[in-house]
Amino acid sequence: MDLKQIIAVYTSERYKYYKPTTPENIVIQKWLVFDSHDDYFDKYLGFYKKLSDFTELIVHAVDGTFEVSNNGISHFIKHNHQKRYTKDGHQIGVSPDALKKVRNNLLKKTDYLKEVNSFDEIFAIVSSAKEIGFGQLAIYDTTVRIGAYLNIEPNKVFLHAGAQIGMRYLEQKGYVKPGISESLFVDIQHVPLELQEVRPIVIEHFLCSQKDKLESFLQNKLLK
């Protein structure tokens, strides 16, 4: 299997998204199934597109809360990146206190958000509202959600910790130029040709969610 085949499987397979709890930590243990990764993004971000105003948008965008319909049933859930949980004795995710502070900071910048014309401008505004514990991935996710409301998608590929690892494997195999994996954002022309027809937001998800598979193929020298 080569990179093109890995991408073909990824872009055509159904995407399963597991949610153990609601935003209120009520146990639901639900698998949400989407026709594809593109379908997931369309439905996930579609929630933010339909919000009534910037105040509601900022609250949901920072908290990572959204409603999605699956098999005819609506679920109000919180994105995994904004959940706070313990793993191997360590606290992971964004704390409620950090979310509250960023929400309040960003609500003061609503007038600036109304004037933006690009993803980079939204990212800069959200970055200026950050607090300790609200890192680059949270900033990116919040920017994506606000961008959805404004019909602005990223035109570059964001490399957070997981996506950076995936890009590093491609770099080691010669699919991208040396040093690319150390960038925060990568222009679409610098990703492998096999990925250039894919939306940047989906490429980021591919690099992160498929990093173990990319590592496996790299180690077994099956990725050509």
CA gap 84, 103 in Å, rounded: 16
pLDDT for the residue 86? 62
pLDDT, tens digit, for every residue of 156-170? 999 988 999 999 999
Residue whose tokens read 């949270």: 138
Q: What is the 3-state secondary structure (H, E, C) of 50-65?
A: CCCCHHHHHHHHHHCE
pLDDT for the residue 182? 95
Mean pLDDT over 63-70 rounds to 92
Render the burial of 127-146: b for 16+ CB within 10 Å, e for the rest. Answer: eebbbebbeebbbbbbbbbb
CA gap 104, 89 in Å, rounded: 30
Long-range contacts of 188-192 (CB under 8 A, 24+ apart): 188/155, 188/156, 188/157, 191/157, 192/3
pTM metric for this prediction: 0.91
Residue whose tokens read 């910790």: 161
Is residue 224 over pLDDT 60?
A: no
* Chain mean position to CA 140: 7
With cut-offs at 50, 70 and 90, classify the pLDDT of residue 87.
Answer: low
Is residue 1 over pLDDT 80?
A: no
Is residue 223 over pLDDT 60?
A: no
C-alpha distances out from residue 92 to 65, 80, 85, 86, 135, Å: 17, 10, 5, 6, 12
Q: What angle do CA 201, 204, 209 make, to 5 degrees?
A: 125
pLDDT for the residue 208? 93
pLDDT, tens digit, for every residue of 175-195? 999 999 999 999 999 999 999
With cut-offs at 50, 70 and 90, classify the pLDDT of residue 100.
Answer: very high
Output 151 or 31, whichever has higher pLDDT: 151
Where do the DSSP E strands lie in the chain? Answer: 15-21, 27-34, 65-70, 73-78, 85-87, 90-92, 156-158, 185-187
Share of the chain above pLDDT 70, in %: 93
pLDDT for the residue 131? 96
pLDDT for the residue 88? 62
Give Cβ neighbours of residue 137 (< 8 Å, ≥ 6 apart).
81, 160, 161
Facing residues of 144 across strands? none
Mean pLDDT over 10-34 rounds to 86
Share of the chain above pLDDT 90, in %: 68
pLDDT for the residue 220? 67
CA gap 145, 222 in Å, rounded: 37
pLDDT for the residue 29? 86
